[in-house]
Amino acid sequence: MNTYTQQVNQARILTKNSSRIVAFSGAGVSTESGLSDFRSKGGLWERYRIVTFQEFLASHDNRVEYWSMRRELIPGLLAAKPNPAHHALAKLEAEGKLQCIITQNIDGLHQSAGNKKVIELHGTNMTASCLTCKQQWSIIDIQERLESGDLDPHCDECNGLIKPDTVSFGQSMPVEAMELAYQAAASCDLLFMIGSSLEVQPANQFPLVAHQGGASLIFINRTVTPYDHLATVSFTESASKVMSILTE
């Protein structure tokens, strides 16, 4: 029996015997649905500068720059479909074993797969809101406005600025979501860390918190992470491949 088979068997047993599972998903889960990680080379993110939240607020020209990039980004997000890793997590929630997903992804694909308990640390790109009166729109409606040439959309009600419900650079992380995420990680019996290289905060705090709480950890990422030594089992593999096998 090779090491990979042993790892699979061990991870399957852990999954089977755990009843309070929490999953953390990073960009690696989305890339398997064809969405590019903004850190990766090539494509959209290299042609546009990152517009911070403060810059977005500061001028019309900055907002036009911001929305020009979004107008190119949104159709891909809307067309993306959940992959087998998303479906595996939906199955675990349907079985009552998965407590919640903590995600850094903004594409709504966990919800598309059927998960209801999703903590979105970076918000969502599926909706946009007025920064003043909080009225909310589907991103589909906003995309129509962008395509009609309105590259600095304002609220119909109060003329406030409209912005996607994502957490932008320079914007603070949502306090309530962060608290819920830490509580979930601290009280789970098994944490899946999927598709994150764990190089930035707060992602890299969750394995520590879960480990301190006595949970087992299963890591699935294409590359090794600085926290692999905490993992009960770690796979340097595709998330879709491993999650499908573990939840068969």
Residue 133 touches Zn ion, criterion: CB under 5 A = yes
Q: Give the closest residue to 85 by CA, choosing from 209, 225, 222, 233.
A: 222
- Partner residues linked to 25 by β-bridges: 103, 194
Query: Whose Cβ is closer to Zn ion: residue 28's or residue 123's?
Result: 123
Q: Do you know the residue count of the chain? A: 248
Q: Which range binds Zn ion by CB under 5 A, 5-13, 58-66, 92-100, 129-137?
A: 129-137
- Report in angstroms how near the CB of residue 52 gets to Zn ion at its nearest: 22
- Per-residue binding string, Zn ion, 89-118, x by CB under 5 A, is ------------------------------
> With left for phi above 0 and alpha for psi between -120 and 50, is residue 114 left, alpha or beta?
left
Binder of Zn ion out of 130, 191, 193, 239 (CB under 5 A): 130
- Report in angstroms how near the CB of residue 136 gets to Zn ion at its nearest: 10
Q: Give the closest residue to 106 by CA, choosing from 191, 203, 30, 55.
A: 30
Active-site residue flag, 122: yes
119-124-126 Cα angle (round to 5): 130
- Report in angstroms how near the CB of residue 135 gets to Zn ion at its nearest: 5
Here the tokens at position 141 are 């409606």
- Identified catalytic residue from 122, 154, 211, 229: 122
Residue for token digits 């939906």?
90
Residues of this chain that interact with Zn ion (CB under 5 A) are 130, 132-133, 135, 155, 157-158, 160
